[in-house]
Amino acid sequence: MSRRLCYLLFCAYFIVGCASYQPPKAPFANPPVEDQEVRIGREFRREARKKLKLVHHPEVERYVNQVGQRLVSAVGPQPFDYRFFVVENSQLNAFAVPGGSIYIHTGLIERIASTDELAGVLGHEIVHVKGHHAVRMSGGPDPISLLSLLGVFLGGAGPQAALTLGQALAVTRQLSYTRQLEQEADTLGVKYMAGAGYDPQAALSFLKTVDQDRVLNPIEIPPYLMTHPLTPERIAGVESAIRSFALKQPKSESVDPMKKIQTLLRLERHESDAVVAEYEKALGRNPQSAEALQLLGVAHHYNGRWARAVDYLERARSLNPRGPGIDRDLGRAYTQSGEFRLAGAAFERAFAAEPNEPLNYLFAGELYEKESKLPEAVGAYLRAHNLAPLWPAPARHLGIAYGKMNRLGDAYYYLGRSHLLADEDELAITTLERALKSVEPTSSRSQVIREELETIKARKR
């Protein structure tokens, strides 16, 4: 393959990797109806789960979803559910898929200086989804099929296998149009950020950081810059949007969990020795650093050293009881070390501090299960499930806990729901059919299961 073709394919890969991956061809005047976008999103998620390395640590999953949902609520009612995923990939990138699925690379999360900066990126991507930008970009002379785009996005045999030259050209031709949409995403993005209580200036500071990287390392241009070309106009556009909306810096957030999340991502990559060395050094410089103490506690927990984890976390809590999720961390560490009474007390404090945080109930449920308090465990998981209805983890835990209680109908029902939330339709059908056999045929649960089965089967047709 010629170098030029390679370059074009490479380019197309990044452009498509932008927020805007494209649905099947649809005449511009007649965009696909909403449920087509939802369907594309679901198909994409299913493939993405197979082909991308997603981070499933509960704290990380909740972090991006919590920031994302806060932005979505500032946008107003939406025709589809938004979901946010973290991809283990060192390249600085983020992209959105029609129908509300937004993917952030770990390489981007590790480059942000604050959660507000993440909100800037997510706000921008939400506008691409909300504005149906992928659909608005379609209708070019050489439309790209959904399948080839799935291939491009997800790698697979590599972009070369997925795109023909003509298709690559078609994508590159759409670049100028993309810039227009990028501007719209920037402008509305900062508006939603401010509406959700994030500092809109962070959108600017993130762009400037990325720009600095580009100057320092012109060889390795991050995908985010290929898809979001940084121009003086773009930065000026964000500045003027902040001015014109008279957006103000909100009162500072009490605690920013960003550093903890970045540390968890390193631990997920098995860099715990480096993390421990780094924060012990930091602690040496400043023995009163509650942050270093908490992150050391988190790292030791990760390595199964519960007593050490408890020791560091207690010291962190005595210095800063408002450390991000510190009582939850303590609750988990005490659960593992078998000190259930102390674990329970830590979770009670966590509930009082953050009553709407599903992670608190998910982890408390694990404590109650260990204590063989199954009804309490079910209660905690139900609470987590209600607070985060699109998150598969609480539904899965509910299924297991009900199973231990020998309530098979409920067990299969929630396991089926967890498969459904993870886009595993076939498994969801078999599990829900088992649930149906185990519940009273005249019960309302039976009715709900039948309706859910109907919906899943209908969309397969």
Residues that bind Zn ion (CB under 5 A): 19, 182, 185, 228
Q: Taking the complex as a whole, how short is the minimal distance between the CB of residue 239 and Zn ion, in angstroms?
A: 18
Q: Taking the complex as a whole, how short is the minimal distance between the CB of residue 183 and Zn ion, in angstroms?
A: 10
Helix (H) / strand (E) containing 101 = strand 101-105
Q: What is the dihedral of CA 450, 456, 458, 460, to 10 degrees?
A: -150
Q: 182 vs 452, which CB is nearer to Zn ion?
A: 182
Q: Taking the complex as a whole, how short is the minimal distance between the CB of residue 93 and Zn ion, in angstroms?
A: 11
Q: 185 vs 343, which CB is nearer to Zn ion?
A: 185
Q: Taking the complex as a whole, how short is the minimal distance between the CB of residue 185 and Zn ion, in angstroms?
A: 5
User: CA Rg, the chain, in Å?
Assistant: 23
Q: 198 vs 302, which CB is nearer to Zn ion?
A: 198
Q: 185 vs 261, which CB is nearer to Zn ion?
A: 185
Q: What residues have CB less than 8 Å from 310, skipping those under 6 apart?
A: 297, 330, 333, 334, 337, 339
Q: 62 vs 130, which CB is nearer to Zn ion?
A: 130
Q: Taking the complex as a whole, how short is the minimal distance between the CB of residue 20 and Zn ion, in angstroms?
A: 7
By beta carbon distance, the residue nearest Zn ion is: 19
In single-letter form, the type of residue at position 357 comes to E
Q: What residues have CB less than 8 Å from 56, skipping those under 6 apart?
A: none
Q: Taking the complex as a whole, how short is the minimal distance between the CB of residue 45 and Zn ion, in angstroms?
A: 20
CA distance to 141, 197, 294, per residue, from 85 (Å): 32, 22, 25
Q: Taking the complex as a whole, how short is the minimal distance between the CB of residue 125 and Zn ion, in angstroms?
A: 7
Q: 185 vs 387, which CB is nearer to Zn ion?
A: 185
Q: Which among 350, 337, 308, 329 is positioned nearest to 264, based on CA atoms?
A: 329
Q: Taking the complex as a whole, how short is the minimal distance between the CB of residue 403 and Zn ion, in angstroms?
A: 44
Q: Taking the complex as a whole, how short is the minimal distance between the CB of residue 101 and Zn ion, in angstroms?
A: 15
Helix (H) / strand (E) containing 15 = helix 3-16
Q: 128 vs 397, which CB is nearer to Zn ion?
A: 128
* 126 neighbors 72 (Cβ within 8 angstroms): yes
Q: 182 vs 329, which CB is nearer to Zn ion?
A: 182
Q: 19 vs 387, which CB is nearer to Zn ion?
A: 19
Instruction: For residues 64 and 261, give the distance between their C-alpha atoms in angstroms, rounded to a whole number.
Output: 10
